[in-house]
Amino acid sequence: MTEDLFLGDSYLRRFEARVVELSGREVILDRTAFYPGGGGQPPDKGTLGIGPVRASVVDARREGGEVVHILDNPIPDTVRDLKGELDWERRYAHMRHHTALHVLSGVIWRNFEAKVTGGQMRAERARMDFSFPGEWTTDVVGEIERLTNDALSEERPVMVYELPREEALKNPDLIRTQVNLVPERVRMIRIVEIEGLDTQADGGTHVANTSETGQLEITGHKSKGRQNKRIEFVLR
């Protein structure tokens, strides 16, 4: 099992770890700050190295309980320890967009009773899909933008904690965001809560306060059927 350092500290950008398995361009470490991708957030990039040995991490993926780092070049199989460093600018941009998606999700539920059906973030943009019951006009989209920016500028703390599964299943916000889809074997569920706005079961990385997110600008919206709407945005 890889220890997921990014779950405890999403701001950790450098770390040291022991090599568990090295095969060609693939490395498994005993612990890592590299997010392996999931929940709409892309895997991290960065570097792994020690002394003169150095390789870029071009991709990462989760395999069972382990995180597999994919390198641009194989490193010698005599290496036992490695230092890792994230492409921090890229990762921090994911954290900001990820947090903005939570705020957007909270606002469209609070103000429009619309449920999120999907989301995806990149370093320079993000998008969210939801089941929107009302008419999908430029006015409505403008209002969503305004309300979301109001919520972002309220400097709301983003809290991360764990709840026992039984307790999580009693929380209506978590039910709405489908906490029941978390595999049965997971007894303690990681919760990400934006105070007073949005609570979700979530394994991704976020900023600590919405003040770090900045303001959002909706750059596109479309209707993909009566219930299926999409918003695309950038952060300013």
The least CB distance from residue 23 to Zn ion, in Å, is: 32
**Is 43 or 204 the residue whose CB approaches Zn ion more closely?**
204
Closest CA to 62 of 203, 162, 202, 180: 203
Q: Which of these segments, 57-65, 73-81, 175-183, 200-208, binds Zn ion (CB under 5 A)?
A: 200-208
Interface residue with Zn ion, options 121, 204, 230, 233 (CB under 5 A):
204
The least CB distance from residue 27 to Zn ion, in Å, is: 26
Token couple for 183 = 């595999």
The least CB distance from residue 53 to Zn ion, in Å, is: 34
**Is 17 or 34 the residue whose CB approaches Zn ion more closely?**
34
Helices 138-152 and 88-112, axial angle in degrees (round to 10): 120
The three-state secondary structure class of 200 is: strand
68-71 own/partner pairs: CB under 8 Å, 24+ apart? 68/26, 68/27, 68/28, 68/36, 69/26, 69/27, 69/28, 69/29, 69/32, 69/34, 70/25, 70/26, 71/25, 71/26, 71/27
**Is 37 or 49 the residue whose CB approaches Zn ion more closely?**
37
Interface residue with Zn ion, options 149, 202, 210, 213 (CB under 5 A):
202
Q: Which of these segments, 117-125, 164-172, 176-184, 202-210, binds Zn ion (CB under 5 A)?
A: 202-210
The least CB distance from residue 236 to Zn ion, in Å, is: 21
Enumerate binding residues for Zn ion (CB under 5 A): 202, 204
